């Protein structure tokens, strides 16, 4: 009897335990079982494509191999896990510490892959596959990766993408491993370009090998962006500036659309997209040529003789100078104890206003500036948009500087006016400001906000965003003044300092500029910045081209020929017809 009671008690205990395991804890163990055989694999959404105004891709995507670690599937024992990470480090020449840190950033029971190294080669992938049985928790995924026409193409304009940093992850907007735009248009339009990731639930065997796909969710690619850039013009401008430091801006004066934006030297976009170690990063950041600096909007320069256009407009509109005014230029101008010189030894002889602008006679403008006055010059400089942001939607734009009078009385000193009259002294501008200014001269006074993005669209949802263009201001000058400026700037290219930009069959108006630098040593003496700003055709302007070459020398000798190459590329059909007829 006692034995029967004991057996019955044991049976009830077993039944109770079975009931507990199957009914109360059944869901928990089923979930644990699923986790042991189900792998969740995110499927990255391709970033949206950036197109030029003609529908040609500026940046695209291509399949690439990514090395990832799955923390849950790595060996639990420290020694075994270290052996796996050590083997991966030796196979792919990845620092062991980098692998170890990648795993420690996430919970050890996470099934989500931790991306360690993007852009693996076929050889790298083959090594991992060869050792796969000895590398539990190590997988190679195929993901979309950005690809560019060349490693430095439009680097400052397009920008680059890389994994979200720890700082960016804090906001909860991104997940670890997400590729995020860090600069340029990639950063500005990141919310449109990123898309939405998909995923797969994959059944695996005891060795972690895929058996079947249990569930699949397609990724949704990012939106398509139609920019105002013309890839052909961008490439021509970059080729023309090869080997030089400086900037080029090509703009449509009818809309403010930017057709090309170049800053050289540029950085290698691919190096920033992939993993970059601290030493390599420091080499780029500390490079004396500053390849990360977008010189088109973030560097400020004295405008040199390009500023004479502002002085001319102010004088004519205020009636303090006239086209028939004449000055004899002997190469020197005296103001008190100071002597200001012309760029041409011996001077230009007798010049009127048009010849003074065409030949860039400093002596004429020294005297004209004093007649016009500092207040009037700065008034028109600000009207043309100098000293204020253009509103371009790229980060870090500088404002430039239009000087104010000094002293308690806030009165202008003669020496300051003389220097400002030829674009020297404290006047500072950016190449983009000069492009917008030159566009206003070309179109009769309209100051456009520079436009980079025409529209953003998705095939399934249509147009998400459209920018019709925005007028930021208007310069009020009489029709006679506008006509004089266009005629005088035409003379610069046909009879003056900008003749190196002349192209048969295309009427071009422009202005050279040579911005003097303060020489801190004999080696720096004569290393002036070279400017050339132009628009064409003169009667119905379609394009503005601004070229700045740092430490290039004279604008007419260095910058004007570069502008000519770009204008040749833009108007190649008209140029070809002119050559045939010639």
Cα gap 116→106, rounded to integer Å: 13
Q: How much is the pLDDT for 29?
A: 45
Question: Which pLDDT band holds residue 246 (cuts at 50, 70, 90)?
Answer: very high
Cα gap 23→27, rounded to integer Å: 8
Cα gap 567→534, rounded to integer Å: 9
Q: How much is the pLDDT for 178?
A: 78
Q: What would be the CATH architecture of the domain defined by 39-227? A: Alpha-Beta Complex (3.90)
Q: How much is the pLDDT for 34?
A: 44
Under a CB-based contact definition with an 8 Å cutoff, are residues 308 and 511 in contact? Answer: yes
Burial of 191 by CB count in 10 Å (0-12 exposed, 13-18 middle, 19+ buried)? Answer: exposed
- Long-range CB contact pairs, 409-413, < 8 A, 24+: 412/373, 412/374, 412/375
Quick one: tokens of 560?
């004007």
Quick one: tokens of 80?
């075994």
Dihedral (Cα; 563, 568, 574, 576), 10-degree rounding = 150
Question: Which pLDDT band holds residue 32 (cuts at 50, 70, 90)?
Answer: very low
501 dihedral zone (left: phi>0; alpha: psi -120 to 50; beta): alpha
Least-confidence region, from 3-17, 396-410, 418-432: 3-17
Question: Which pLDDT band holds residue 14 (cuts at 50, 70, 90)?
Answer: low
Name the pTM for this structure: 0.86
In the chain, the percentage of residues whose pLDDT exceeds 70 is 86
| Higher local confidence (pLDDT), 201 or 539 | 539
Rg over alpha carbons for the chain, rounded to the nearest Å, is 33
- Nearest Cα neighbor of 234 from 297, 154, 296 is 154
> How confident is the model over 368-396, as a mean pLDDT?
95
Domains 39-227 and 231-277+294-581 share a fold: no
Least-confidence region, from 14-18, 25-29, 383-387, 437-441: 25-29
Question: Which pLDDT band holds residue 139 (cuts at 50, 70, 90)?
Answer: confident
CA distances from 281 to 132, 177, 277, 395 (A): 33, 20, 6, 20
Q: How many CB atoms lie within 10 A of CB 308?
A: 26
Q: How much is the pLDDT for 5?
A: 59
CATH of 231-277+294-581, one of 3.90.76.10, 3.40.710.10, 3.30.70.980, 3.40.50.620: 3.40.710.10
Q: Give the tens place of pLDDT for each residue, 157-170.
A: 999 888 777 777 77
- SS3 sequence, 153-180? CCHHHHCCEEECCHHHHCCCCCCCCCEE
The full set of domain ranges for the chain reads 39-227, 231-277+294-581
Number of H helices, E strands in the chain: 22, 23
| Higher local confidence (pLDDT), 569 or 405 | 569
Residue 253 has pLDDT above 60, yes or no: yes
Question: Which pLDDT band holds residue 140 (cuts at 50, 70, 90)?
Answer: confident
Give the phi and the psi of residue 235 in degrees, each rounded to 5: -65, -40
> How confident is the model over 401-425, as a mean pLDDT?
87
3-class state of residue 382 by DSSP: helix
Residue 27 has pLDDT above 70, yes or no: no
Q: Give the tens place of pLDDT for each residue, 148-194.
A: 888 899 999 999 888 777 777 777 777 777 788 889 999 999 999 98
Kindly provide the residue ranges of all beta strands, DSSP E only, lying in 453-536, ordered along the sequence.
453-458, 462-466, 471-474, 509-515, 529-536
**Is cis: bond before 214, omega within 30 of 0?**
no
3-class state of residue 198 by DSSP: strand
Sequence-distant (≥ 6) Cβ neighbours of residue 508 within 8 angstroms: 490, 493, 501, 502, 534, 535, 536, 537, 538, 567
- Nearest Cα neighbor of 568 from 233, 69, 177, 231 is 233
Helix, strand, coil abundance in the chain, percent, nearest 5:
40, 25, 35
Cα gap 19→10, rounded to integer Å: 14
3-class state of residue 524 by DSSP: helix
Residue 460 has pLDDT above 70, yes or no: yes
Residue 568 has pLDDT above 50, yes or no: yes
Kindly provide the residue ranges of all beta strands, DSSP E only, lying in 401-521, ordered along the sequence.
446-448, 453-458, 462-466, 471-474, 509-515
In the chain, the percentage of residues whose pLDDT exceeds 90 is 52
Cα gap 570→311, rounded to integer Å: 30
Q: List, as one string, the DSSP characters of 9-41.
A: HHHHHHHHHHHIIIIISHHHHHHHHHHHHEEEE
């Amino acid at each position: 009897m006692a034995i029967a009671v004991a057996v019955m008690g044991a049976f009830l205990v077993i039944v109770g335990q079975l009931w507990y395991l199957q009914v109360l804890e059944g869901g928990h163990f089923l979930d644990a079982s699923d986790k042991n055989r189900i792998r969740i694999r995110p499927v990255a959404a391709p970033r949206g494509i950036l197109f030029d105004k003609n529908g040609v891709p500026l940046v695209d995507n291509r399949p690439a191999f990514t090395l990832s670690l799955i923390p849950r599937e790595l060996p639990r024992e420290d020694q075994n896990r270290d052996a796996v990470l050590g083997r991966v480090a030796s196979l792919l020449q990845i620092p062991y510490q980098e692998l170890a840190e990648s795993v420690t950033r996430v919970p050890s029971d996470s099934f989500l892959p931790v991306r360690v190294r993007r852009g693996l080669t076929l050889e790298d992938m083959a090594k991992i596959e060869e050792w796969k049985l000895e590398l539990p928790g190590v997988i190679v995924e195929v993901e979309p990766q950005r690809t560019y026409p060349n490693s430095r193409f439009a680097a400052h304009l397009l920008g680059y993408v890389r994994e979200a940093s720890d700082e960016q992850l804090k906001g909860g907007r991104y997940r670890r491993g997400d590729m995020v735009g860090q600069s340029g248009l990639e950063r500005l339009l990141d919310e449109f370009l990123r898309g939405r990731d998909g995923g797969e639930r994959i059944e695996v065997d005891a060795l972690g090998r895929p058996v079947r796909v249990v569930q699949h969710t397609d990724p949704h690619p990012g939106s398509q962006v139609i920019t105002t850039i013309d890839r052909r013009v961008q490439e021509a401008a970059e080729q023309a500036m090869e080997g030089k430091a400086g900037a080029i801006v090509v703009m449509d004066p009818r809309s403010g659309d930017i057709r090309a934006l170049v800053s050289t030297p540029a950085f290698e976009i691919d190096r920033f997209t992939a993993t970059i170690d601290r030493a390599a990063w420091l080499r780029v950041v500390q490079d004396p040529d500053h390849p990360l600096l977008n010189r088109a909007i973030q560097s400020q320069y004295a405008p040199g003789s390009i500023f004479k256009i502002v002085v001319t407009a102010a004088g004519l509109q205020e009636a303090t100078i006239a086209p028939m005014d004449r000055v004899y230029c002997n190469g020197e101008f005296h103001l008190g104890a100071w002597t200001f010189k012309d760029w041409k030894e011996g001077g230009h002889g007798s010049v009127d206003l048009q010849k003074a602008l065409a030949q860039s006679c400093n002596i004429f403008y020294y005297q004209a500036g004093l007649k016009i006055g500092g207040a009037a010059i700065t008034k028109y400089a600000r009207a043309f948009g100098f000293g204020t942001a253009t509103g371009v939607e790229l980060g870090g734009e500088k404002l430039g500087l239009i000087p104010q009078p000094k002293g308690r009385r806030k009165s202008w000193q003669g020496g300051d006016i003389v220097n400002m009259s030829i674009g020297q002294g404290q006047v500072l501008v950016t190449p983009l400001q000069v492009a917008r200014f030159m566009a206003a001269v070309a179109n009769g006074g309209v100051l456009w906000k520079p436009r980079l993005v025409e529209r953003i669209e998705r095939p399934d949802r249509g147009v998400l965003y459209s920018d019709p263009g925005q007028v930021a201001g208007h310069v009020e000058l009489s029709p006679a003044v506008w006509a004089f400026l266009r005629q005088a700037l035409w003379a610069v290219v046909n009879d003056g300092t900008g003749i190196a930009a002349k192209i048969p069959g295309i009427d071009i108006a422009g202005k050279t500029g040579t911005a003097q630098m303060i020489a801190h040593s004999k080696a720096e003496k004569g290393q002036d910045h070279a400017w050339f700003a132009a628009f064409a055709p003169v009667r119905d302007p379609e394009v503005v081209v601004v070229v700045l070459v740092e430490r290039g020398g004279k604008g007419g000798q260095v910058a004007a020929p570069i502008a000519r190459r770009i204008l040749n590329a833009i108007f190649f059909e008209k140029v070809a017809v002119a050559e045939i007829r010639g």
